[in-house]
A and B are shown apart, each in its own frame.
Chain A
């Protein structure tokens, strides 16, 4: 269950990473279509990263002695990672709600104290999540590093592949 929640979070994050990879590259005013396309591209890269991580996790699970014991170890690690990511996700979701549904002064507030700083903090949160997951477990450390690297690579890969130059 913890792993599924993390996978869902990773895919949502990948869609936002796709948007960020595109943002600032297109000077047009009306661009909801290209924005959706960017989110889908991020999602695609994110899904590929998740597939690689899943394959790696499966290998760790199956190649290391008792699978049931290893599964419990990895599930506990995923739980620790979720404990770090869940509050961050909740604050981002609240900021986004304020941004999209609030009047523009509230949306400015959401950007100034929420979305802007949270984007800067995102790599740190991913890092802390990885450390929490890796704590006391070498197999979990390997999976956490792979998963976190996958999450952090989505935006630069999407940017480099599709948005290296202004649209």
Chain B
């Protein structure tokens, strides 16, 4: 049976025009019931709706913003920004040493409230000359992300729409907690799509191959600890039952390292790698880990930019991520 997140079901839009489409509460409840998720169905059934049975969009948006604000607390407590920066800084150092021209543009795909982008902007950890952009389909979340960024005068921006069809090309695509929303062919398509996004110019001014120079997508590490750990953490830290429900579901839906490595190989022209796979990390210390893709010429530069310990956490070897972790290899 599929694991569904309520927040994925309560908002819909036309993918071409981005116009919001009405969502019938009964349909959401039925989908959750069909998935055997009676608790989720009860939560959805309590959402306010109009007399015609469609969910009240204002109430839904308010609820989603509140849930994502609570969710940000988890990112703060788990120091998600520092964790992403540990990989992103050397990645950008490798790009600066290479032949990527112009400002480096980091695009956060499915940014939600834009916590990562805003944290990177506030901390300045990536150094100057980095254009930070958050992209999401959800208008309410993008609006709130923009409001929060302006409230703190942060040097970053937010765009509603398709991250892989931006007028300005991305140097690096990043995301946090997005990958588990895609299953099977959709996951392959996610990686393939970014490889076909707008091409970057090279230092010589010529158009290069399509796609970014790299991507770095973080998601919940698929460990045995993840479901129970996520339950405890969401129970302890989140108040909204919708947020608790979706948090636990997201841990159940998360992909293992091998699945991500295979899917990342769909991004043509980019070498797939996993940082801190299950075989090379301690599940108590690594709650999220990224799958990366980067142009072949950047791989040695990244390994150089990472320090020796960090470089040892990086692998593109499928046999390696499929190996059973042992106390000697677990770090």
Contacts and interface: CB of A to CB of B under 8 A. Distances in A.
Contact of A116 (B72, B144, B154, B237): B237
A120 B286 contact: no
Nearest to B83: A104
Contact of A28 (B68, B78, B148, B282): B148
Contact of B285 (A30, A109, A116): A109
Contacts, number: 76
Interface in A108-131: 108-109, 111-113, 115-117, 119-120
Interface stretch (B97-105, B210-218, B227-235, B291-299): B227-235
Contacts of B285: 105-106, 108-109, 112
Interface residues of A, number: 24
Given A106-B285, A120-B236, A111 B77 contact: yes
Given A24-B72, A27-B72, A113-B284, A104 B79 contact: yes
Contacts of A28: 148, 151-152
A111 B115 CA distance: 20
B287 A112 contact: yes
B313 to A, nearest CB: 11
B311 to A, nearest CB: 16
Interface string B84-119: 001000000000000000000000000001010011
A26 to B, nearest CB: 7
Interface string B36-77: 000000000000000000000000000001101110110001
B238 interface: yes
A166 interface: yes
B67 to A, nearest CB: 9
A157 interface: no
A119 B285 CA distance: 19
Contacts of B119: 29
Nearest to B122: A29
A116 B236 contact: yes
Nearest to A22: B73
A109 B238 CA distance: 19
B192 interface: no
B interface, how many residues as a size bin? 35 or more
Contacts of A161: none
A20 to B, nearest CB: 8
A44 B130 CA distance: 44
Contacts of B239: 24
B236 A27 contact: no
Contacts of A30: 122, 152
A105 B309 CA distance: 13
B201 interface: no
A25 interface: yes
Interface string A88-112: 0000000000000000111111011
Interface string B112-139: 0101001100100000000000000000
Interface string B287-315: 10000000000000000000000000000
B86 to A, nearest CB: 8
Interface of A: 23-30, 104-109, 111-113, 115-117, 119-120, 165-166
23 contacts: A23-B237, A24-B70, A24-B72, A24-B237, A25-B69, A27-B113, A27-B115, A27-B144, A105-B285, A105-B286, A108-B286, A109-B282, A109-B285, A111-B233, A112-B225, A112-B229, A116-B233, A117-B232, A117-B236, A119-B237, A166-B65, A166-B66, A166-B69
